[in-house]
Structure 1
Amino acid sequence: MAPNRREFLGWTAAAALSAGADAPVSYVDSHVHIWDLDRLRPPWLAGDPQLDHNARWSEYQKASAGVNVVKAVYLEVDVAPHQHEQEARLAIELCRDPSNAITGAVIGGRPAAEDFAAYIEPLAKDPAVKGLRQVLHGATPAGYCLQPRFVDGIRKLGSLGLSFDLCMRHADLPDAAKLVETVPDTAFILDHCGNPPLFGDLTAWKRDVDRIAARPNVVGKVSGIIASVKGRTWHSDDLAPVIRHMLEAFGPDRVLFGGDWPVCTLGAPLQTWITTLAQVVKHIPAENRRKLYHDNAIRVYRLT
């Protein structure tokens, strides 16, 4: 049994009773994608007609109607590299707009680029910028994140007080483990539960998540997996083993909820994901659910 399992899941009668009657849940959505096609068009949208439409805050509000989202984090949308600065400026603009709940941004960038320091240093001075992400799946080869220049870029983020969101294939999680071990002074967030093989053998995924979670500079984001149910008949029990292992591996203080809207809609609406997650975690203590849904994201992304 992982050392944090009993602490998180609260296998006691007293904990079960304390989880009974809850106050209304306040959510910090730590993973929201926003794009306005009149201002910026991610190139990959052309190949995905289900998502090739505006995904503005107004659409997010409709998708999350009835959910008490008190704060949100903008997550980069994998624009073309020459558009990174434009996207970053738009994200900062969103953070400063009081008409939405976005209070922090994880911007895009290429840590291995020769001009990475010149790109990130000015942006890091803006308090809205909390971290950076480069999507490490798709055309990115295995081992890419362990190249010396990439590692140097990740080390640079840590020196600037910024975090790095890890988004990669589950087969490449051993590379992620080596990276977080190599750069202990940079904070990492493992996106989308490490993209597990949701309907396959979870043995290797569990082993690799455990290795990553053993490092104190990493937290786990419970997000994204609902997109993997696309085209399948499914039930909350199909997602439960992944969610529960994330909670067990990282413990109550190092997991955070992410909606992954609108990408989540490839599998189900945002509200379905939230309802499914609530079903899986309903038996854990209310205090730990509050950390998952709200408190940990405030701390990890330094939201004000």
Structure 2
Amino acid sequence: MPQPAYPIIDTHQHLWDPKRLSLPWLKGAGPHLNKRNAIEEYTAAVEGLPIASAIYMEVNAAPDHKLQEAQQVRQLIESGRHVTTAAILSADPGLENFRDFVDPFQMQSWVKGYRQVLHGGSAPKGYCLKARFINNCRHLGSTGKTFDLCPRPAELKDAARLADACPDTRFVLDHCGNVDPKAFFASNDSRRGSAPPNAARWKEDMTELARHPNVFCKISGIIARVPKQWTPDDLRPVVQHCVEAFGDGRVVFGTDWPVCNAGGTARQWIEALQQITSDWSPEAQQRLWSKNAETIYNLA
């Protein structure tokens, strides 16, 4: 299959070296994650692909290693030797010291925004609707930084309420709202397994979230949940609804490497998405692969 005709901005690049950064969650992760996945491994994984630049995505480091993570990423970017040119750092708007951490980065152009994962066990339902969380997300809007949303699929309505409360903050919804693509499989499809029958609710909640013009959708993550035998058509319903809801002007692409390797390589994911979007207009394809990211993340 030919490569995309457009340069790609990977808006979701994870990198880590367990010897340099404390990542407690790695202990329970699969073998493709519980190892060194640094820039050299990423470079090898995307060799031959038209990755023009990449945005580093925080990796949920231990609280006392978040500043160290930021320092390591800054060194990587400033070296100028790799595709990584910007970063989304880890910071929890629900914490009292949130602004103490983010404000020193306010004038750092390589820092485009922040993320606190909301789909793990440490974030209870409704956490993103706490007053401090909302006020700190408003603060990000006032400084021009983004916030990546990564909620559980059943809590997309919370994300909509947060976006409504922070109209001047740009939110980027990760991984198509963390939906399991197997939820769209036919009931008699043996590959479906125990996927929850939440497709209809997910579509409804995504449509509601998309009504907020300050929310953008990242087409990423879904390949990590596919069964061993899969085709691009298995992912098509998810991608199609995201674009129907948000429009081709509010979607961006991300590899979610190396998490994507649970279902397929970065190359397989890109080629699958190319096939899914092959009937889009050239302008819409270019917006997905790079142009929207340039606007959303204020990339030079």
TM-score scaled by length of structure 1: 0.90
In structure 1, what is the Cα distance between the partners aligned to 2:3 and 2:39?
28
- The residue that corresponds to 1:38 in the other structure is 19
Q: Deviations over 1:135-187 (max 9, x none)?
A: 00121111110011111111111111111000111001010010000110110
Q: What letter corresponds to residue 208 of structure 1 in structure 2?
A: D
Q: State the 1:71 CA deviation.
A: 0.8
Contact 1:46-1:52 at 8 Å conserved across structures: yes
- The residue that corresponds to 1:98 in the other structure is 80
In structure 2, what is the Cα distance between the partners aligned to 1:109 and 1:83?
11
Q: What letter corresponds to residue 293 of structure 2 in structure 1?
A: A
Secondary structure of 1:65's match? coil
- The residue that corresponds to 1:178 in the other structure is 161
Q: How does 1:281-296 map to 2 (within 5 A)?
A: 281-296=277-292
- The residue that corresponds to 1:60 in the other structure is 42
Which of 222, 246, 249 in structure 1 is aligned with 2:219?
222
Q: State the 1:303 CA deviation.
A: 1.4
Q: State the 1:38 CA deviation.
A: 2.7
- The residue that corresponds to 1:6 in the other structure is none
Secondary structure of 1:178's match? helix
2:74 is the alignment partner of 1:78: no
Secondary structure of 1:297's match? helix
Contact 2:180-2:222 at 8 Å conserved across structures: no
Unaligned runs of 5+ in 2: 184-196
- The residue that corresponds to 1:244 in the other structure is 240
- The share of aligned pairs that are identical, in percent, is 42
Contact 2:3-2:271 at 8 Å conserved across structures: no
TM-score scaled by length of structure 2: 0.91
Which of 108, 118, 128 in structure 2 is aligned with 1:145?
128
Contact 1:91-1:107 at 8 Å conserved across structures: no
Secondary structure of 2:175's match? helix
Equivalent residue pairs, number: 283
Q: State the 1:205 CA deviation.
A: 0.6
Contact 1:170-1:195 at 8 Å conserved across structures: yes
In structure 1, what is the Cα distance between the partners aligned to 2:256 and 2:239?
15
Q: What letter corresponds to residue 158 of structure 1 in structure 2?
A: G
Q: What letter corresponds to residue 206 of structure 1 in structure 2?
A: K
Q: What letter corresponds to residue 27 of structure 1 in structure 2?
A: I
Q: What letter corresponds to residue 216 of structure 2 in structure 1?
A: V
Secondary structure of 2:56's match? strand
In structure 2, what is the Cα distance between the partners aligned to 1:78 and 1:53?
15
- The residue that corresponds to 1:300 in the other structure is 296
Contact 1:35-1:41 at 8 Å conserved across structures: no
Q: State the 1:64 CA deviation.
A: 0.7
2:170 is the alignment partner of 1:187: yes
In structure 2, what is the Cα distance between the partners aligned to 1:165 and 1:300?
11
In structure 2, what is the Cα distance between the partners aligned to 1:69 and 1:245?
25
Contact 2:4-2:50 at 8 Å conserved across structures: no
Contact 1:22-1:286 at 8 Å conserved across structures: no
Secondary structure of 1:210's match? helix
Q: What letter corresponds to residue 118 of structure 1 in structure 2?
A: D
In structure 2, what is the Cα distance between the partners aligned to 1:154 and 1:90?
25
